[in-house]
Amino acid sequence: MHHKPTRINRLAQVARFLRVARLLLWTIWVIYRERRRVIRAHQRGHYEVQPNIEVLIKVLTAFRETAIKLGVLMIKLGQFLSARADLLPEQALQVLDSLQDEVPPAPFSHVISVIEADLGKPVEQVFSLLERKATAAASLGQVHRATLAGSGEMVAVKVQRPHIEELVNTDLSTIRFVIWVITRFVDTSEFIDLMAVYREFRRTVYEEIDYLTEAANARRFRELFRDQPQIYIPRVYEEYSSKRVLVLEWIDGLKINDYAALEAAGYNRLEIARRTVEAYFFQFFEAGFFHADPHPGNIFVKHGSPPEDPVIAFVDFGMVGTLTKSTKKALRDLFLAFVARDSQALVHALGRLGFLGENANLPAIEQGLELMLTQYYGLTLGEARELDLSDVAQDIEQLLYGQPFQIPAQFAFTGRAISVLAGVATGLAPEFNLIDVATPYARKFLGLSADRLGENLQELLRQMLENGRALLTLPRALERIITRFESGQIEIRLADSSTNGRSRRARNGRSPNGGEGRGGTFSLTFVSLAALAAGVYLLTSVHLFTAGWFCLGLAAVAILGLLLRR
């Protein structure tokens, strides 16, 4: 007869509380202090000021070492922070990146007692074989291979670790207490919304320790990929699953980072990378629901799938991300603001997406975005292919850290998933190009039909008109357009195979020798003719008077710009 697990000793709980509180107070204070110092310096125009990397690395190394000893939630918190480019600079994030969720397994007696308590019958009646050795052990649970007694099917049995709810509740209470103490003495809201970070972390942890939620996630993924035979999602055995026990179909396969075994089996590594990444872009752009933990231990090439047609199997559905319809709409608006090179509209869209706190310094953020627009605006697809994604990621991380941004939960997961995915794909096939695979999905998501925006001006105008913001802010928009025409900042970029994507010459419409190039004049002529034609068509053929007059107004501004150049 197996006894019920005993509760954690009260003295042990107090000792853990003190240890965790001390660790968190120092860690959170240093993170806050350094970010506040950098943001304030940047707001004053001192962009050369950087965080004290040595101090951050020292405190995060200490956090990492203690987290491994304490286990459970501290490891999860370290992993959660490793996705927060708004809280830590890249070099500091790397300290936490190596924090692996691998801990010694719980005793086999605990596994049996949980299964029997939750399923209400002896373990022998459920499994004819249950392997003693865990195939994987993490901070919240562990997995054992088993054979179902009724059907003889091979399954993966995931069981929660001992005292998990008590430990999670204790650690969450400690984190909340530490945040309460800090916010009593310091107003952190402008630089870090600590309570928002806490609430999001708590939500993800509670979802991850509820295996009924994970079972529902697995069923949803299986339905999503029902018509895609190249992707495989294991079946859930609901009759043997509970809040603390999850039974899934066993996946027999090769890990996608076991390169030697993949090549020995004759698999094409580039094709595996392509299928894996396409599955993720399908999740991001079409489903709006994605597997948020794509590390190599969770992705396999299924045994038995032919070398010319590898089947990619996913496991572990505890961490998922979602993109709602309103989020997708705001992302499209963000894209349109980027195309219009309107940093103010970008700030507005970012605010709707939750990137800006209540006390965010909007002029400072707008200034930082203007710098990013100057650097990346106008890239052709060919130039984008040539970009080093790690350089772009570093630029974005520096912007996030150096300005009062905060990353909403779904985007923290999205960013982390894409980052891990890019690493996995590059490891599989160094020649793999993420941009090429992403482009058709992104284009469909945004409702665009051409690779280059210069060739899709009418579609862009239509979307801007539908959104209505262009008309509501017409005076400001026209003022911006006139200013940019006068300075030569507006241009239509034509694809040029001789362009070097890394050179990124000044994108303000001026030629390298300081004078305005012929491209600026051609751009104005093109815009004036296109807008004139669109205005006439909208007024006479489809009777969209507001849109038609807007286009005619744009044509007039373009002609004015041409006259000013003469």
Q: Does residue 408 carry a pLDDT above 90?
A: no
- Under DSSP, the state recorded for 415 is H
Beta bridge partner(s), residue 145: 156
Same domain, 528 and 461: yes
**What is the pLDDT at residue 87?**
82
Which of 6-20, 55-69, 167-181, 268-282 shows the lowest per-residue confidence on average (mean pLDDT)? Answer: 6-20
Final residue of a structural domain among 315, 339, 366: 315
Of 171, 293, 316, 342, the active-site residue reads 293
Whether residues 286 and 181 share a domain: the answer is: no
Instruction: Tell me if 502 is assigned to some domain.
Output: yes
189 and 60, same structural domain? yes
54 with 157, same domain: the answer is no
Q: Do the domain assignments include residue 266?
A: yes
Question: According to the model, what pLDDT value does residue 2 have?
Answer: 45
Same-domain pairing of 148 and 245? yes
Range in 161-165, 220-224, 436-440, 526-530 with the lowest mean pLDDT? 526-530
- Residue that terminates a domain, selected from 176, 208, 240: 208
| Spatial separation of the C-alpha atoms in residues 540 and 222, rounded to whole Å | 51
Q: Which residues are 301's β-sheet partners?
A: 254, 312
Output the domain CATH number for residue 300: 1.10.510.10
- Average pLDDT estimate for 218-244: 96
**pTM score, two decimals?**
0.70
Domain's final residue, options 266, 288, 315: 315
Lowest mean pLDDT among 1-15, 221-235, 253-267: 1-15
Q: State the pLDDT at residue 195.
A: 85
14 and 159 in a single domain? The answer is no
Q: Which of 486, 478, 193 is nearest to 340 (CA)?
A: 478
Pairing state between β 231-232 and 312-314: parallel
Same domain, residue pair 73 and 28: yes
Annotation marks residue 293 as catalytic: yes
Is residue 434 a contact partner of residue 422, using CB atoms and an 8 Å limit?
A: yes
Assess whether pLDDT exceeds 80 at residue 414.
no
Q: Reduced to 3 DSSP states, what percent helix, strand and coil does the chain have, rounded to the nearest 5?
A: 60, 10, 30
Q: How far apart are CA 428 and CA 81, in angstroms?
A: 27
Does 186 share its domain with 151?
A: no
pLDDT band at residue 266 under the 50/70/90 scheme: very high
pLDDT of res. 358: 65
Quote the number of domains for the chain.
3
Asked if residue 14 and residue 146 are part of one domain, the reply reads no
Judge whether 360 lies within some domain. Answer: no
Least confident of 44-53, 109-118, 172-181, 235-244: 44-53
**pLDDT score at 489:** 45
Q: Is there a single domain that holds both residue 236 and residue 309?
A: yes
- CB contact burial 246-272 (16+ within 10 A = b; e otherwise): bbbbbbebbebeeeeebeeeebbbebb
Q: Is residue 331 part of a domain?
A: no
Burial of 502 (0-12, 13-18, 19+ CB in 10 A): exposed
Lowest mean pLDDT among 122-136, 386-400, 473-487: 473-487
Residues 131 and 158 in one domain: yes
pLDDT, mean over the chain: 78
**Residue 139 is assigned to a structural domain of this protein:** yes
Helix axes 194-208, 73-81, angle to 10 degrees: 120
Q: Is residue 531 part of a domain?
A: yes
pLDDT at 465 > cutoff 70: no
The arithmetic mean of pLDDT across residues 313-319, rounded, is 92
Which residues have CB under 8 Å from 541's CB, separation 6+? none
Structural domain containing residue 493: 456-566
Reduce the DSSP state of residue 160 to 3 states and report it. strand
Residue 454 is predicted with a pLDDT of 44
**Same domain flag for 239 and 305:** yes
> What are the tens digits of pLDDT across the range 45-98?
787 888 999 999 999 999 988 888 887 788 888 888 877 777 888 788 888 876
Q: What is the pLDDT of residues 351-364, one digit of tens each?
A: 888 887 666 677 77
Count of beta carbons in the 10 Å neighbourhood of residue 133: 9
423 within some domain: no
Residue 235 falls within a domain, yes or no? yes
